[in-house]
Amino acid sequence: MTAETKVGLFTFFGLILLGASVYILGNFTISKGFDINVYFKNVSGLPAKSIVRLNGVEVGRVKELKIEGARVGAVVRINDGVIIYKDSKFAIAATSIIGANYLQIEQGSAQSGILQEGDSVEGQSMPSINDMVAETMTTINNLASSIAANGKFGEDLNATLANLRMLSGNLNELVFSLRPYLSASMQDVSELTKASKELMNKIDDGDGLFNALVQDKQMKDDVQATLANVRQVSEDAKEFIGKMAKFRIFWEYDARYQPKGNLTESDLGIKFVPTNGFTYYRAGLSDMGNRDNDPKNDKDFRGKPNQIDARMGLYNNWADLQVGLIRGAGGGVLALKPFYKSDVHAINTLSVYGEITDFGRNREINGKRFDKAKAAVGVRSFITKNVGVGVRYNEILEKEARAVQLTANLSFEDKELASLLGLASLAK
């Protein structure tokens, strides 16, 4: 190998070693990424080439620091693929009290957008060590001056110490005065313990009043009779309370107004709701007081007035099914509450319902023959605990009588009547 070749190889390997040194020791990187500018009033000793962490994870380095007027700008190199949002918080942090500073990023929200190449953000400056030491020393001097000059703090401190001395003296006097009583109490406890042991010994030996009571047959019979009476009274009270709270009673009034023909209808019923099930019973009158189809009103196709209305219902949180005599004829009503989980009362009570009855209807009303069942659909919601409003489309199967109706509903719980019926049931 010639001398020239040896020199060339030495130079080649020297350059490789130099490049590795620059890469490892000089924080030189060839990784892809993007630069952003972070501005501070004071970088507090943040060095160039320092680490950048996003929520504690290293994501880049500080490339350089530059002064721009009254601010210091840090050019930050962020690794490729790292997403930082525009409202993120940039602050200078330290690994420990004497550790190196680094740039800490607290991730923001996605709604603010993503930082791109060349974007600028404001950083949160922290006071320098000198400023914090000066402020601390000023506080200590003020405290010392206050104590030395007997200022407000000094007065409070002296008063507190005086109160502590007084409290200590009072406690000493209290302990001294209570010492005889404490000694007597300890003597009483010792005597009580001794008496208890003697009593237990007498019981074990079959001696004394307690043993006589236990072995006395008449006493035993009396105790058993008393316990039986107590048990019977308890059962009667339980039955009484159960019957008193066996069901709830509601008065319900439903009104319907039909703008087409200026017609009104109203129902009144009483509903019995057992408290231990998913059924209820309703009885009342429908179409109370209205005229039986006014011949002067060619839009009046209402049914017969004052009809018996008797229903049985099955219900849960989201559905209500009623069957029975619906306004004087056999039928049913199905109501669904799609929003029963809502926290708003008017929404969770919103129900969509359908009603059909009088399947065998064959009647002439105001010169029109009706031979289809009476059917309606509608929606209803209770805007308060007792008042509901809604709208329904009536007589959807009979073209001549189809009409929109506005509805109003009143519902009141009758606790007095429920209590009265509960008391009456006790007589059975």
Annotate 110-127 with three-state secondary structure. Answer: HHHCECCCCCEEEEECCC
pLDDT score at 89: 92
What is the full DSSP assignment across 9-62? Answer: HHHHHHHHHHHHHHHHHS------EEEEEEEES--TTPPTT-EEEETTEEEEEE
Q: In Å, what is the CA distance from 290 to each residue of 108, 296, 371, 404, 407?
A: 68, 14, 22, 18, 16
> Which fold is adopted by the domain 247-425?
Porin (2.40.160)
Answer yes or no: are the C-beta atoms of 307 and 290 closer than 8 Å. Answer: no
For the chain, 428 residues long, give each residue's pLDDT as a single digit of tens: 666 566 566 666 766 776 666 555 444 455 578 999 999 888 777 888 888 999 889 999 998 888 888 888 989 999 988 999 999 999 888 765 556 788 899 999 999 899 998 899 998 876 666 666 667 677 666 666 665 655 555 666 667 667 666 766 666 666 566 566 555 655 665 665 666 566 566 655 655 555 555 555 666 566 566 666 666 655 665 565 555 556 788 999 998 888 887 888 888 999 988 877 789 999 988 887 666 566 667 677 777 788 889 999 999 989 999 999 998 889 999 999 999 888 888 899 999 999 999 888 888 777 788 888 989 999 999 999 899 999 999 989 888 888 899 999 999 888 777 666 665 555 55
Does an H or E element contain 199, and which?
helix 152-204
Kindly provide the residue ranges of all beta strands, DSSP E only, lying in 245-398, ordered along the sequence.
247-258, 263-274, 279-286, 307-315, 319-326, 329-336, 351-357, 363-365, 368-370, 374-382, 387-394
Burial category of 9 from C-beta neighbours within 10 Å (exposed 0-12, middle 13-18, buried 19 and up) = exposed
Quick one: pLDDT at residue 353? 95
Could you tell me the two tokens for 215?
Answer: 């072995």
Residue 83 confidence (pLDDT)? 92
pLDDT of residue 77: 92
Q: What is the pLDDT of residue 180?
A: 63
Structure tokens given for 169: 């003296």
pTM greater than 0.85: no
Query: How many Å apart are CA 311 and CA 352, to the nearest integer?
Result: 19
The structure tokens 């404490």 sit at 182
Site of tokens 């009667």: 236
How do beta strands 33-40 and 329-336 pair? unpaired
CB-based contacts of 40: which residues, under 8 Å, 6+ apart?
46, 71, 72, 74, 92, 123, 124, 125
Query: In sequence order, what are the residues at sequence separation of 6 or more whose Cβ sits closer than 8 angstroms to the Cβ of residue 326?
Result: 309, 311, 332, 333, 355, 357, 358
3-class secondary structure for 59-112? EEEEEEEEEECCEEEEEEEEECCCCCECCCEEEEEECCCCCCEEEEEECCCHHH
Annotated domain spans of the chain? 31-126, 128-210, 216-243, 247-425
